[in-house]
Structure 1
Amino acid sequence: MIRPIHYTDAQQLLNIYNYYVINTDVTFDLEPTPLKVFQEKIHSISKDFPFIVYEENNEILGYAYAGKFRERPAYNHTLESTVYVKSSAHGKQIGSKLYAELIAQLKQTNCRVVLGVLTLPNDASVKLHEKFGFELVGHLKEVGFKFNTWLDVGIFELKLA
């Protein structure tokens, strides 16, 4: 089931996220995020924007949210989307289900544009975004450095209005 986040979900979500921090370059965080920091992030985002989880048999297998793209007021109608799926749950279309619901919720807000900011290459994430109509609008070369490798970032845009 897909449902809104509960504050008590924080540890399960953090476990999903920190796996990606430690083992992949899809996030540019270099050290695992502490629980208190993650709880503050959840509170900050969920009070203003959609933050949803995919739960199966009382286990959270993924989550998605949208948040501010940038702080300046002219960006108030542009949000950045994020989706993470538990590494052991890939291939179940959980990311697609979460994104479908997130986008549906965003269409009910004053959001005009949703951006996906992805480490490249990342075929699975690119395919997910393209499936929902996101288009590559920017390719930043070698802007991140993790695991002794320079990493590119793609900016994918979906216009809702």
Structure 2
Amino acid sequence: MHEIYEAAVELVPAITDDLPGIVAIQNHTAATSHARFATRPHRLEERRDWFAQFAETGPYRMLVARRGNQVLGHACSQRYRDQDAFRETVEVSIGLGEDSRARGLGTALYRALFGALADEPVHVALAGIALPNDVSLALHRKFGFTEIGTFHEYAVKNGQYLSSLWMQRLQSTPFPGTDQS
């Protein structure tokens, strides 16, 4: 088992100093894959308002995996829609640096994120996964996400139509490595 997070890697709430590392991971992923729909790099300044939604408590969290001052990956839960009817629904996402993939870090980040949300007023977590992405689908299934439906060819990036599979996880769903029932 590849558990790199056990040695000198901490999983902690993100702070403003982590934002450059988070943005770098997001920009690299957007530039090298279709997993992020961004069609141009984000500037650090334009991500500050987005980052401000996250807190150390409550349903909207951002966790980072950090070795020293280096951000290796992040996982977050954010507002799904602005209407009050969706106050118990979050959208989750995860991003890993290229050298941090396939080492158990995504599992560790999601385990920590869902553990942090266990006592929060969250009923359901949603995830939209650009297709194809077998690794992300497997990670979400591992945490009890089930398939809801696919938006076929609903986005265009680099001249290619992209589809996205949407999944959901009820907060009462047990997940690996916890005593949550």
TM-score, normalised with respect to structure 1: 0.95
Give structure 1 stretches of 5+ with no counterpart.
none
CA-atom RMSD in angstroms:
1.2
Contact 2:53 2:78 in 1 (8 A): no
Question: Hey, what's the Cα distance between the residues in 2 that align with 1:158 and 1:66?
Answer: 12
Match of 1:113 in 2: 124
Give structure 2 stretches of 5+ with no counterpart.
1-9, 173-181
TM-score, normalised with respect to structure 2: 0.85
Alignment of 1:55-70 (within 5 A): 55-70=66-81
Match among 167, 170, 174 for residue 156 of structure 1: 167
Higher helix share: 1
Alignment of 1:78-117 (within 5 A): 78-117=89-128
Q: What code does the residue aligned with 2:64 have? A: V
Q: Structure 1: which 4+ aligned runs deviate by more than 6 Å?
A: none
**How far off is 1:57 after superposition?**
3.5
> Could you give the per-residue CA deviations for residues 104-160 of structure 1, whole angstroms, max 9, x where no partner exists?
111110000000111011100000000000001111100011121111111110001
**How far off is 1:39 after superposition?**
1.9
Match among 108, 128, 136 for residue 125 of structure 1: 136
Contact 2:131 2:164 in 1 (8 A): yes
> Could you give the per-residue CA deviations for residues 37-80 of structure 1, whole angstroms, max 9, x where no partner exists?
11221112337511110012432100011011111110110000
The answer to whether residue 11 in structure 2 is matched with residue 2 in structure 1 is yes
Question: Hey, what's the Cα distance between the residues in 2 that align with 1:96 and 1:122?
Answer: 16
**Matched pairs, number:** 161
> Could you give the per-residue CA deviations for residues 6-34 of structure 1, whole angstroms, max 9, x where no partner exists?
11111111111100111111111101011
